[in-house]
Structures are given as structure tokens and as C-alpha cells.
Amino acid sequence: MSSVELYLREKGWDYRDLPNLRQTSKAIQWDMEARLEADEHKQGAGTYSYSIRLSPKRYLTIGSEQLTFTPPNGSSEVILRRQGRKFEVLNRKTGEMETSSIRVPASVISTFEPSVDRSKYPEHIRFKEWVEGFRYFLIWDPKVLRMPDRNKHEELGPSGEHLAPLLALLRQRDPEKFDKLLSRVRRLFPHVSDISISGGKTWGWKTIRIHERENGRDIAFNSQQTNDGVLRMLAVASLLYISKPPSLVMFEEPENGIHPQLLREVIQILRELTLRKPPRNSQVFFTTHSPYVLDEFYDHPEEVFVMERSHPLAGATISQLTVASQIVSVMESFPKSLGEAWFSGLIGGMARGKR
């Protein structure tokens, strides 16, 4: 299942429900530019410009796709071009563009196999592996975080699936990192004395148990009895210690279900993901409707972008907060509170119907 299909399913939408398909002649298009370092094979360093357009039909399929590569101190060249099912791709071994066709409703990039194609398509593989590191997290549902889970999992699902087996694997493979995770949780929730995972060591069903110590006695609470905020903070903090950190992390409103006093720690964790040394660092994007979260960016307004629509039928626009002409006077009028300035309607992003 593609990430687009997963998003639609989680939202309860059909492809035809997407807003900019009100007219069948319109299509959804993404354009991105990435500056990537060489991979572990010392290949693929350079700038990648990628464009992909969905077909304006009633079902999900790719209409066009293009990847342009610019090496350091070199000139740009198109290394993949697709229109409909037909595409051409640059083979580094032969130095020529090869022509072929694709019959699956997916991107050409997704079809490259690193173990087979790396010598012929090193830049395509580098870009593919970077994109495959993208992780999108919906609002983490406590009932999903609580669910028993089985098998081995090295990362969380989009709604928080696999938290129990992930923690079990971390404790088994890297107890030092698990202890760091536990220490971080205990700093936020001093009543927590330990975190254990019940169930088999390999493929059995696993559940989380939170331990608390009271009057010298250890009390273990199962996942059904655990506070929502503890589970959500445990899930967020786990991203710092997993073996394969994502290249890009996207969240929807990570403040949901978190006590306002703990929001600073959530933001700090997300910031730490971006500050680690390559290749373990991540780029982080998240949406928020919380003025408390916005306050945490008072000293970094350049990291804030405002999304809004001028009227219901208009497309959404995204603008960097520091580009706004009034930002200096706003920050002078609302010292240490971007959230209050936003709530007052001075920096955009107003609720529909408010002007």
C-alpha cells in the first residue's frame, strides 16, 4: 500500500474526495529539492530536483515523474523522465537513456532494487533510499499504542502501531539505549520506576507494562491502565533511540493528548532529531494548532511557516513567518509569546470565517 493510499484510508477519504479534484482536469503535483551527501557506498552526493504528478482520474496512479541530478560543481542532467506508463532512465554503465514502461500504479523510483541496480543507477538508488526514510505520523491513538503486538518491529507505524515490540527489541539489542529512554521518561514522570514488556522474546504477543514504586513496593500497570500522556511521550521519545532513524519525520499536531507542561519536552525531542550528526539526523515537519507550541519557537521564528487560504475555493498558501513585514513589531508587542500574537490574528493562519 502506498503512503497516499494509507493517508486516505486513515482519513476515511476516497481519492476522488481530495479537494483539488473538484475539477477532473486538475491534478496533484509535488515538487521537491534535496541536497544529499554521499551514501555508505560513497555515491550519490549532489542536488536532486524531483517532480511527480498524480493522474487526474478517479483512481490513484502516476501521470508524470521527473528526477534531475546536479553533482557538486557540475551541471544538471535529467536522469529519469516519465509520462504516463512510458519512461526513460539514465544508465551510468552505458551512459545512455534507456526506455521502458511501467504497469503498476507507483513511481518509477520505487521500483529500483539496491542490490541489483546500484551500479547502473547510483543516483536513483541514493534518492530512493532517502525518500524511503520518510515517516509520517498521524495523531497517535492511545488505543493503538496500548494494543498487544507481535513479531519484530524496528519502527513505529503511522498511528503508533508496534510500540511494544519496538521497545522489546530495543531492550534486547541495545540495553544502554533503552536505559537512556527509560531515564528520559522518568525525568518527565518521576513515579515511573521501570518499563517492561510482557510476552515471548521473539514472535509472541507483547504488551507494555509501566512500573511504579510506592512505599518500597513495585506495582506494574498493564498498557490498558497506563496514562495516555505517558504512552504518547514514550512513543515520541523512542524516535531518538531506534536503530534506523528516519530521514524525514512528519507529525500531525504532536501536542494532542500531552499536558501543556510537557509540550516543551516534546519540542525538545523533535529538535534533537534534527541536531544529530549525519546520517542519523532527521528533518522534522509538524502541524500545530497550539499557541503553547508556537511559543517554543519565539527564538527561532524562521522555523515557523503559516498555512492559510484566502477563501474556501482557493488553494492553501504557505509562507515563512519571518517574511511577514509585521514580524518585528509583532515580537516587540508580544515579548516571548508568538502564540498570543497568532491567537490575536496578527501573523496569519486565521480560522475560516475569521478576518
Domain interval for residue 321: 300-355
Question: Do 16 and 87 lie in a common domain?
Answer: yes
Question: Do 330 and 232 lie in a common domain?
Answer: no
117, 145, 157, 159, 173 from 154: Cα distances, Å: 26, 15, 10, 15, 11
Question: Do 16 and 84 lie in a common domain?
Answer: yes
Please report which confidence band the pLDDT of residue 201 belongs to, taking 50, 70 and 90 as the band edges: low
Query: Looking at 99, 132, 165, which one is the last position of a domain?
Result: 132
Looking at residue 310, its pLDDT comes to 74
Looking at residue 241, its pLDDT comes to 95
- Indicate whether 295 belongs to any domain: no
- Indicate whether 293 belongs to any domain: no
Question: Do 90 and 192 lie in a common domain?
Answer: no
Return d(Cα 323, Cα 326) in angstroms, integer. 9
Question: Do 82 and 123 lie in a common domain?
Answer: yes
Question: Do 247 and 331 lie in a common domain?
Answer: no
Question: Do 57 and 166 lie in a common domain?
Answer: no
Residues 59-87 have a mean pLDDT of 94
Residue 121 contacts by C-beta under 8 Å, 6 or more apart in sequence? Answer: 79, 89, 90, 91, 92, 112
Other C-beta atoms closer than 10 Å to the C-beta of 2 total 13
Question: Do 270 and 236 lie in a common domain?
Answer: yes
- Indicate whether 332 belongs to any domain: yes
Looking at residue 202, its pLDDT comes to 66
**Residue 218 pLDDT > 80, yes or no?**
yes
Please report which confidence band the pLDDT of residue 355 belongs to, taking 50, 70 and 90 as the band edges: very low
- Indicate whether 217 belongs to any domain: yes
Please report which confidence band the pLDDT of residue 92 belongs to, taking 50, 70 and 90 as the band edges: very high
Summarised one tens digit per residue, pLDDT across range 293-316 is 999 999 998 999 998 877 766 777
Q: Is 314 or 145 the better-scoring residue by pLDDT?
A: 145
- Indicate whether 127 belongs to any domain: yes
The DSSP symbol for 346 reads: S
Query: Is there a contact between 209 and 195 (Cβ–Cβ < 8 Å)?
Result: yes
**pTM, whole model, 2 decimals?**
0.86
Question: Do 37 and 11 lie in a common domain?
Answer: yes
Question: Do 160 and 238 lie in a common domain?
Answer: yes
Amino acid in position 334: F
What does pLDDT average to over the chain? 88
Please report which confidence band the pLDDT of residue 275 belongs to, taking 50, 70 and 90 as the band edges: very high
What is the number of domains present in the chain?
3
Looking at residue 24, its pLDDT comes to 61
